[in-house]
Amino acid sequence: HRYMQKTATLDLCMVLEGEVTLVLDTTEVRLKAGDTVVQRGTSHAWSNQGNETCLLAISSHDARR
């Protein structure tokens, strides 16, 4: 995916509205409103493959050891 990124943070991500696909190195995960993801330093991208708006709440925290 052309928007892949890797962050040095612990990210708490919740889908508030709509649906979105979380693109990872080896898989894609379809998420819908109410789903929550916790990721730490993963390569990832977000993709809205539908016609509806998706609203995410993301809280990022320093994940350095």
Structure tokens of 12?
């708490």
**pLDDT tens-digit readout, 49-59:** 989 999 999 99
* Whether domain 5-60 has CATH 3.40.630.10: no
pTM across the whole model: 0.86
How far apart, in whole angstroms, are the C-alpha atoms of residue 43 and residue 26? 10
**pLDDT tens-digit readout, 14-32:** 999 999 999 999 999 999 9
pLDDT above 90 as % of the chain: 80
Q: Within 13 A of 1's CA, how many CA atoms are on the CB side?
A: 19
**How many residues in total does the chain contain?**
65
Q: What percent helix, strand, coil does the chain show, rounded to 5?
A: 0, 60, 40
Annotated domain spans of the chain: 5-60
User: What pLDDT shows up at residue 1?
Assistant: 79
- Judged against a pLDDT cut of 90, whether residue 7 lies above it is answered with no
- Confidence class of residue 65 from pLDDT cuts 50, 70 and 90? low
